[in-house]
Structure 1
Amino acid sequence: MSIVIRDVREHELDAILALNNNAGSAILPMDAGRLRYFYDHAEYFRVAERDGALAGFLIGFGSASAHDSSNFAWFAERYRRFCYIDRIVVASRRRGGGVGRALYADMQSYAELRYPHIACEVFLDHGADAALLFHGSFGFREVGQNTMRNVDVRASMMLKDLCSYPWVRDTYGDHLPDAAWIIKPRTPIAPAKAGN
């Protein structure tokens, strides 16, 4: 009954789309084109497996990305460097079993070597107490609120400071050692330039 966190595979995108769109009102639905954008451009896109079955996923973007989310833009206006969690989804039958914590721990292991903060939002208009408690117990704090354009959803904008980052930055800069345990960043497809 162990949880395995690994990089997403392209052939899993249909299953991930179904998982996302069955998650309920706490997650915005998406279409195949949006998921493809995430697959092509996200810096962090990993899945959780439990007993060999897809149990959840987490998608993240570094602050230097050209991500088009209004919540990402809210953080970018206020913070120079951060890793943004665009979405995390856990299959309903796996909720409460540690899958979300495993995904967040894996994301933190990735981010703390590269960014001083992890940023995310929690929708406030859909019974958010469990999500707020989860994030608070994981070290996040609210740094503001944002009403998302085009969907009229109010979100608590949450930030977690990563205490390891200053030491890693001062010791290694942008040249992390080549160690097997260090999660390698995905190589997002560069956005097309105008005129090409």
Structure 2
Amino acid sequence: MSPQQLSRHVGYSLRPLSVSDAPEIAPLNDAASPAVPATPTSDLARLITVADLALGLEREGILVGFVIAIAPGADYDSENYRFFEARAVDHLYVDRIVIAESERGAGLGAVLYDAVFDAARRQGRREVTCEVNLDPPNPGSQAFHARLGFVEVGTQRTKGGSIMVSLLAAPITADTHDDGPLS
């Protein structure tokens, strides 16, 4: 986190995730379902190993959130990731971003996205990509991503047709989110 972000979020810090964190992030992940899919600990551990960016958000040493983002060309078989790969646009794909329910509403999602945009900018990527559920609906996430500059580039049914997602992309510019978390 930048000093500006730290001053807004006293007691919070970001750190790289490792495979050994998978058992700790699994309950956070599963509590966020259906916004993110419930995922076995072993699959989360593998996801961390294929991720280009895997960060944990801690409050006083306890993980209260995380983000996992994947660069192009990864050995990852997600339907949504494959959609973005097929577009042939250099991107950093946010597979999941999770904030503990007790911590929501404090601007922490924007803090994690700032880290993603910073990484994408350093890597010379053209955009950050992700998806948000349309069915089951997730209007809070849709509004949040719109505030961050994401626009819909497609939709698709996933998980055997049981979920409809909006596929989103936000361009990387020199000043994208440089001012710290959005309110």
* TM-score bracket for the superposition, by shorter chain length: 0.7 to 0.9
Q: Does 1:57 pair with 2:66? A: yes
Q: Secondary structure at the match of 1:24?
A: coil
**1:30-69 correspondence runs (5 A):** 30-69=39-78
Q: Does 1:129 pair with 2:129? A: no
* Contact 2:128 2:172 survives alignment (8 Å): yes
Who is 1:8 aligned against? 17
Q: String of CA shifts for 1:78-132, please: whole Å, max 9, x gaps.
A: 1331100000111010011121111000111011122111000001113321101
Runs of 4+ in 1 over 3 A off after TM superposition: none
- Aligned-partner Cα distance in 2 for 1:40–1:151: 28
**What amino acid does structure 2 have at the position aligned with 1:128?**
N
TM-score (norm 2): 0.85
TM-score (norm 1): 0.79
Gaps of 5+ in 1: 166-196
State which drifts further: 128-137 or 10-19.
Answer: 10-19
Higher helix share: 2
Who is 1:78 aligned against? 87
- Aligned-partner Cα distance in 2 for 1:157–1:129: 14
User: Which of structures 1 and 2 has the bigger CA Rg?
Assistant: 1
Gaps of 5+ in 2: 1-9, 176-183
**What amino acid does structure 2 have at the position aligned with 1:47?**
G
Q: Please state how far the C-alpha of 1:36 moved relative to its aligned partner.
A: 1.7
Identity of aligned residues (%): 28
* Contact 1:5 1:102 survives alignment (8 Å): no
State which drifts further: 105-114 or 153-162.
Answer: 105-114
Kindly report the root-mean-square deviation, in angstroms, between the aligned alpha carbons of the 2 structures.
Answer: 1.6
